[in-house]
Structure 1
Amino acid sequence: MSGPLPSTAHLGLTDPPPLPTGALRVVPVGGLGEIGRNMAVLEFDGALLVIDCGLLFPEADQPGIDLVLPDFSVIADRIDDVVGVVLTHGHEDHIGAVPYLLRLRADLPLIGSRFTLALVAAKLREHRIEPVLVEVTAGDHHQAGPFDTEYVCVNHSIPDALAVAVHTPAGTLVHTGDFKMDQLPLDGRVTDLATFARLGDAGVDLLLSDSTNAEVPGFVTSERSIGPVVDGVFARAGQRLIVSSFASHVHRIQQVLDSAVRHRRKVALVGRSMVRNMGLAQELGLLHVEAGLVVTLEEALQMPPAQVVLVSTGSQGEPLSALGRMARGDHAQVTITAGDTVLLASSLVPGNETAVYGVINGLTRLGATVVHKETARVHVSGHAPAGELRTLLQVTRPRHLLPVHGEWRHLRAHAAIAAETGMRADQVLLAEDGVVVDLVDGRASIVGRVPIGDVYVDGLGVGEVGEESLQARRILGEEGFVAITVVVEPTTGTLVRPVHLTARGFADDPTAFDPALALVETALRAALADGPVEAQKLSRVVRRTVGTWVAQTHRRRPMIVPTVLEV
C-alpha cells in the first residue's frame, strides 16, 4: 500500500465554483454510499450527459414507500441541456427511474444496447411514454453533443451490458457500469480487456468503477458452475419444482430451461416481469427455448407435479411477488404442498434479508424443501471481486479513480485496492452523492457539493412524502397513536362534555387509558379554573399530561393529537 487512504469527510464542502472553461464536471447523483439508485451527471461546454438512472428499494425504516428515486433537482432547471442518457445495462438500479426522469422531458435520447433498450421500452409503455431510443453495441462511437461516447463489452448477470468511455477535450472518463470477468460466460461475451488496455494506453484520466464486491477476495466463479448444482436439484426433486430468480437473469433462467429439458419437465413462467423479460430475451435471440418446452401456468397445474417446473419472481422476498404470495398461502393459483422443492437461485440484496428469510420460513412451514445460497452454490455474483478490480486498474492505469456503486465499506475497500496497485491517496477520490468532481488539465479533484435528497414514490405520489412524514409514520408504527377530543364553552371556560380519548397500538383492553383520561380532565379543569383559556394552550396541557402518563406507564412516546373544539 502506497500510503494512507483518502479522507471520506465531506461535511465542510460548499457549493462548487463555476466550471472552468474546457473542464469536465462529474456529479454522482446516486449509487455512492448505497447499493442502487445509480446515476451520474457529466457536464462539459454547457451540455449535460447522464449515465444510468436507477432506483433504490425502500428500507425497513421507510414505511409505506414504494421506491426511492435520484434527486433530479440537480438537472431539473437545465433539462434542455441534457444531450443523452447512457444506460449501461437493464437492471432496475440502473434503469428503474427513467420513466420519472422522462416526466421532465419526454424526448431525452436513451442510449444503450438492444436488450437494455427493449427492457426500458417495455417499462415506458406501462407509463405511456414513447421514448427516443439510440441503440449502440460494443465498439460503437456515438456523438452526444460535445461528448464522444465509446462502448465497451463487459460481462454481468444480465445480457448486453456495456461500459462507456467518454472522450472530451478535457480528458477521457471511463465508467465501467456493473461488470465481472467471467472467463467462460454462457453467451460468450467476455469483458473486453483489450479495449480497456487500449483506452489505458491512450490515457484514462478518470475511472468510475463498480465497487460492490471490493471486499471479496479473488476472482469470480463462472456462471457455468451453477448448471450442475441446478441439475442436481432437478434430480432430487420428486414432485413439483419452483425456481425463483431475478426476472432479468437470462443466463440463470437458461440453465434452468436446459435442466428442464434433460429431466423432461415442462416450464411455466410465473410473474408479469418474468414473462415479459424472458419473452423479450427469446425474441432477441438471447434465450434459447426448445419448441414445446414452455406451457402456460394453467396447463402446468393440470399436469403431474413431477413433470413441471415453475419459474417465478420473488427471490428477494417481495410481498406482492408470486413466490411471496405462495409462501403466505394466498396465491390465486399455486398452493405449496408437502414435497414441493423451491430453489432460490439468487443473491440476497442488502436490506432484503428479513423478507427473504420470511419467505423461506413460510415455504418450509407449508412443507416445501427450500434450496438457497446458504445451503448450495445456486448463485454467483455479477460483480467483480477484488482480484478483478485490481486487474482492471492495472490494465487501464487511470490517473484518477472514483469508486462508485457501493456502500461506504465497498468504496473504502476499492480505494485500498487502488493503493495496492500504486495509486497515491490524491489520485483516489472517495465521494458520496452530490459531491462534485472537476477534471481540469488532466487533474481530477473534489471542488464542492450540491444538495442531494431522497425522492420517495408513495403510491401515485412522487416527492410528496418527506422526512417529516416518514418520521410520523415511524412513530405511528413503533410508538402508537393517541387522539383526545376536548369540547369547551369559550365564554365560561367549562368542559361541555366528557373528554374523549382514543388510543391505538397499546393494549386490547379498552379501559387501559382510563387513568390517563382522568388525569387529562383534572388538568383541564385546573387550567380553566381562572377563566377562559385559548385552545392552543389547552392542547399543550393535554399533550403534556398524556405524554407524561404514557412515558411513565408504557415507556412509549406515541403520536398525541389533541383537538380542542369551542362551542
Structure 2
Amino acid sequence: MRRVQPRATEAGAVAAEEKYVRNAKKKRPVKIFFLGGVGEIGKNMTAIEYGGDIIIIDAGITFPNNEDMPGIDLVVPDITYLVKNKDKVKGILLTHGHEDHIGGIPYLLKELNPGTPVYGTKLTLMLADNKIQEHRIQNVTERVVSPGDKVKLGVFEVEFINVNHSISGAVALAVRTPYGLIYHSGDFKIDLTPVAGKPIDLERIAELGREGVLLYMGESTNIERLGYTMSETVVGTTLDHLFSENMNRRLIIATFASNVHRLQQIIDLAVKYRRKVALSGRSMFKVVDAAVKIGELKIPEGVLIDIEKSKNLFDGELLIVSTGTQGEPMSALTRMAAGDFNKVTIGNNDTIIISATPIPGNEKMVYRVINNLYKKGANVVYESLEKIHVSGHACQEEHKILHNLLNPKFFIPVHGEYRHLKRHALLAEELGMPEKNILITEIGNCVELTDETIGLGENFAAGTRLIDGGGFEDYGTSEVMKDRLRMSAEGIFMITLAVTGNYVINDPVIESRGYVFADNKDADKEIRGVVQKAVEQYDYENGNKEDLAAAVKKALKNYIFKKTKQSPLIVPVILEV
C-alpha cells in the first residue's frame, strides 16, 4: 500500500503533534550524585548513573575538625546509596593520587562487589594500591590507563585527558552519556612549562568543546585568586638560589610527599650541589618508592642515604627531605622543631625550607613549628619570604580559558567551599552562561540531566563517615560520639564501687578528668557525700548492680547540673568481689 504524503501544512501539524507526544513522555535523566567535595575542601566523590549503570569518580578523605570529632582520624563520604546499588557500579575512576581523591578507596572497595574495577594512571594506582594492601583487601581489579585512553563502562564511555597538577598522572574525565558529554576537570592548572611530562592537553579540550559539551563540572579551589598560577619551574629557580646561598649549611626541605615534580627538582639540585639526600617521614618513603618504580622519579645511584648515616657527613654535604609542611603533630619536621626527633637535632647551622602553604585551618600549627625552629637557632625559609611554593590549582584566568574552550551548555562548580562554588558560578555568568544553566550543589543533592534540561532531583542519604585508628566507624550520631563530645567539652567522672553480695565494701573512689569546680574548694567532699548518700539509700534487696550504677549516676548528674549547669560524662564502675 502506498503511503500518502501529507501536504506542507499537514506535515507541520504532524511534526508538532509528534514533538508534543515525545515531550509528554518524560525522559529518563542521567543522575549525578554528590557524595563529597561540594561545600567543602576534601573527600571528593561523585557518582553518575543512568538506568542500571553507575560510575564513581574519586574516593577521597578529609581530616577531622578535632573540636567536633574527638578521637577521629579520618572522615570519608557516607556511601549508603552506592552500597544499596552496588550491582550497578561498573567502575571507579581516580583523577589523581592525592588523599582527598584516593584516601577513601579502601573503605569504598570493602563495601562494593569484589572485582569492581578501579581505573587510574600508573602513579595514582600505585598510591591507591598501597592503601588497599594496608587494609588487606582481596579481589581488587586495577586497570592502568594513560591520557588519551578510552574505556567503556555500561552505557558510559570515559576518555582520560592529560592535565597539570601538583602530582604526576593527573587527568580530567570526558564522560560520554546517552544525552551528551560531561567534562569533569579533576584538579588542574595550566602549566605550559611543566617540570616533567606534557602540558595540559588544551588541543584535545578544544576539540571536545567543538564536538559539544553538555555539562562542565569544574574544580573551584583557587577561583578567588586573580591571574594565573605560577609554573612549578619557578620553585626550582628559587630552590637553586637557596642551595647556592647555603653551601656550608645543612639543608632540610619539608614538602608534600605527593609532589613528585618538586621532589625531582630537589633531587636534581642535590646532585648539582653534591649533597647526599636522606628521607624522613613514612609517606615520603612510600611515594618515593612508588615513583621510582614506575619511572616518574629519577634518582642517581648513591644519592640516597639512610638518615642514621647522615651524622657522618659535614653539614654542607647533606640534604634532608622531610614531611611536616602542615605542622602535623607526629610529622618529622614538627618533632625536629620540638626536639623530639632523635635522628636529627636542629642547630645554628641549619637552613630549613618549608616548601608549601598552610592549608586553611593549619596556620597556627605551622607557625608554631616555625617559631620552635627559630628558637633552636635555625634559619627558616617559608612562602612569606621566598617563592618556594606554587599551587596545583587553576586561578581565574585559567578557568576562563577552560570555560571558553569547552563552551558547555550547563555548568556545576565542584571541589570547594560554598564561597568558592558561588564565585565560580558568577564567573560562568560573566562569561555569558545563563544563570538558569548553572547549579550550585550540596552533599546529598541528586542532579537530573538530559540534553535539554538540568535540575535537582530527590535528595539521597549522604553525609560523613567517621573513622578512628582502632577500627571504630560512625556516622556522627552514635552514643559513642556523643560521649566523646561531652568528655571533650565538659569532662568525665568515674566512680568505682566494690560490691560483695548486697554490700558496698569500700568508700567510693572518684576520679575526674577535664572538669574543675572553679568556685568551690569543698566540691570533692560534697561529691563524695552525694555518691555515699545514693549508695546508702539504694534498695539492695530488689535491685542489682546495674540499678546501683544508674542510681549513683542520676544522683551525681543532678547535683553537678544544679551547681554548674554542666553535664560531664559520668561513668559508674561496679566491681563484684
TM-score (norm 2): 0.86
The answer to whether 1:221 aligns with 2:230 is yes
SS of residue matched to 2:35: strand
Within a 5 Å distance, the mapping from 1:482-493 to structure 2 comes to: 482-484=493-495
SS of residue matched to 1:502: strand
Deviation track 1:469-507 (CA, whole Å, cap 9, x = no partner) reads: 33422332332222346799999xx99865553222245
Q: Which residue of 2 aligns with 1:182?
A: 191
Out of 449, 453, 461, which is 1:443 matched to?
A: 453
Within a 5 Å distance, the mapping from 1:355-434 to structure 2 comes to: 355-434=365-444
**Equivalent-residue separation in structure 2 for 1:334 and 1:359 (angstroms):** 15
Unaligned runs of 5+ in 2: 1-24
Unaligned runs of 5+ in 1: 1-18
Q: Which has the larger radius of gyration?
A: 2
Deviation track 1:337-378 (CA, whole Å, cap 9, x = no partner) reads: 232121111122223223322322332332222211222211
**Equivalent-residue separation in structure 2 for 1:40 and 1:20 (angstroms):** 25
**Equivalent-residue separation in structure 1 for 2:323 and 2:480 (angstroms):** 31
SS of residue matched to 1:374: coil
SS of residue matched to 1:325: helix
Do 1:106 and 1:129's aligned partners in 2 also have CA atoms closer than 8 Å?
no
SS of residue matched to 1:274: helix
Do 1:343 and 1:370's aligned partners in 2 also have CA atoms closer than 8 Å?
yes
- Judged with a 3 Å threshold, the aligned counterparts in structure 2 of structure 1 residues 276 and 565 are, in CA distance, closer, same or farther, namely closer
**Equivalent-residue separation in structure 1 for 2:573 and 2:294 (angstroms):** 62
Give the superposition deviation at 1:259: 2.0
Letter paired with 2:556: V
Q: Which residue of 2 aligns with 1:138?
A: 147
Out of 95, 103, 128, which is 1:96 matched to?
A: 103
- Judged with a 3 Å threshold, the aligned counterparts in structure 2 of structure 1 residues 109 and 96 are, in CA distance, closer, same or farther, namely same
Q: Which residue of 1 aligns with 2:58?
A: 52
Q: Which residue of 2 aligns with 1:473?
A: 484
Within a 5 Å distance, the mapping from 1:203-282 to structure 2 comes to: 203-237=212-246, 238-282=248-292
- Judged with a 3 Å threshold, the aligned counterparts in structure 2 of structure 1 residues 280 and 502 are, in CA distance, closer, same or farther, namely closer
Deviation track 1:202-238 (CA, whole Å, cap 9, x = no partner) reads: 2211111111011111111111111121122223334
Do 1:523 and 1:545's aligned partners in 2 also have CA atoms closer than 8 Å?
no
- Judged with a 3 Å threshold, the aligned counterparts in structure 2 of structure 1 residues 538 and 471 are, in CA distance, closer, same or farther, namely closer
The answer to whether 1:191 aligns with 2:211 is no
**Equivalent-residue separation in structure 1 for 2:456 and 2:515 (angstroms):** 50
After the TM superposition, which of the residue ranges 532-541 and 155-164 deviates more from structure 2? 532-541
Give the superposition deviation at 1:538: 5.9
- Judged with a 3 Å threshold, the aligned counterparts in structure 2 of structure 1 residues 337 and 559 are, in CA distance, closer, same or farther, namely same
Do 1:211 and 1:404's aligned partners in 2 also have CA atoms closer than 8 Å?
yes
Letter paired with 1:473: R
After the TM superposition, which of the residue ranges 34-43 and 460-469 deviates more from structure 2? 460-469
Q: Which residue of 2 aligns with 1:128?
A: 136
Q: Which residue of 1 aligns with 2:9?
A: none
Letter paired with 1:461: G
The count of residues paired between Structure 1 and Structure 2 equals 542
Within a 5 Å distance, the mapping from 1:407-556 to structure 2 comes to: 407-464=417-474, 466-467=476-477, 468-484=479-495, 498=507, 500-506=509-515, 513-517=523-527, 520=530, 524=534, 536=550, 539-551=553-565
The answer to whether 1:40 aligns with 2:46 is yes
**Equivalent-residue separation in structure 1 for 2:66 and 2:250 (angstroms):** 33
Q: Which residue of 1 aligns with 2:12?
A: none
- Judged with a 3 Å threshold, the aligned counterparts in structure 2 of structure 1 residues 316 and 325 are, in CA distance, closer, same or farther, namely same
**Equivalent-residue separation in structure 1 for 2:263 and 2:313 (angstroms):** 21
**Equivalent-residue separation in structure 1 for 2:122 and 2:523 (angstroms):** 63
Deviation track 1:19-56 (CA, whole Å, cap 9, x = no partner) reads: 97642110011111111111101111211100111111
Do 2:508 and 2:532's aligned partners in 1 also have CA atoms closer than 8 Å?
no
Q: Which residue of 2 aligns with 1:11?
A: none
Do 1:490 and 1:532's aligned partners in 2 also have CA atoms closer than 8 Å?
no
- Judged with a 3 Å threshold, the aligned counterparts in structure 2 of structure 1 residues 566 and 99 are, in CA distance, closer, same or farther, namely closer
- Judged with a 3 Å threshold, the aligned counterparts in structure 2 of structure 1 residues 373 and 524 are, in CA distance, closer, same or farther, namely same
Q: Which residue of 2 aligns with 1:284?
A: 294
- Judged with a 3 Å threshold, the aligned counterparts in structure 2 of structure 1 residues 139 and 271 are, in CA distance, closer, same or farther, namely same
**Equivalent-residue separation in structure 1 for 2:535 and 2:31 (angstroms):** 65
Deviation track 1:91-111 (CA, whole Å, cap 9, x = no partner) reads: 111111111211123311111
**Equivalent-residue separation in structure 2 for 1:465 and 1:320 (angstroms):** 26
**Equivalent-residue separation in structure 2 for 1:528 and 1:76 (angstroms):** 49
Q: Which residue of 2 aligns with 1:28?
A: 34
Q: Which residue of 1 aligns with 2:121?
A: 113
Letter paired with 1:558: P
Letter paired with 2:117: P
- Judged with a 3 Å threshold, the aligned counterparts in structure 2 of structure 1 residues 100 and 228 are, in CA distance, closer, same or farther, namely same
Letter paired with 2:320: L
**Equivalent-residue separation in structure 2 for 1:565 and 1:430 (angstroms):** 57
- Judged with a 3 Å threshold, the aligned counterparts in structure 2 of structure 1 residues 471 and 462 are, in CA distance, closer, same or farther, namely closer
Out of 87, 112, 118, which is 1:80 matched to?
A: 87
**Equivalent-residue separation in structure 2 for 1:295 and 1:211 (angstroms):** 40
Do 1:216 and 1:386's aligned partners in 2 also have CA atoms closer than 8 Å?
yes
Out of 329, 333, 344, which is 2:343 matched to?
A: 333
SS of residue matched to 1:205: strand
Give the superposition deviation at 1:242: 0.9
Do 1:166 and 1:172's aligned partners in 2 also have CA atoms closer than 8 Å?
yes
After the TM superposition, which of the residue ranges 235-244 and 518-527 deviates more from structure 2? 518-527
**Equivalent-residue separation in structure 1 for 2:288 and 2:173 (angstroms):** 26
Deviation track 1:379-427 (CA, whole Å, cap 9, x = no partner) reads: 1100011111122111111111111111111111111111111112211
- Judged with a 3 Å threshold, the aligned counterparts in structure 2 of structure 1 residues 119 and 521 are, in CA distance, closer, same or farther, namely closer
Give the superposition deviation at 1:565: 9.5
Within a 5 Å distance, the mapping from 1:294-305 to structure 2 comes to: 294-305=304-315
Structure 1 runs of 4+ with >6 Å offset: 486-491, 494-497, 508-511, 525-529, 531-534, 563-567
Deviation track 1:303-336 (CA, whole Å, cap 9, x = no partner) reads: 1122100111121222222223222322242222
Do 1:206 and 1:444's aligned partners in 2 also have CA atoms closer than 8 Å?
no
Do 1:55 and 1:95's aligned partners in 2 also have CA atoms closer than 8 Å?
yes
TM-score (norm 1): 0.88
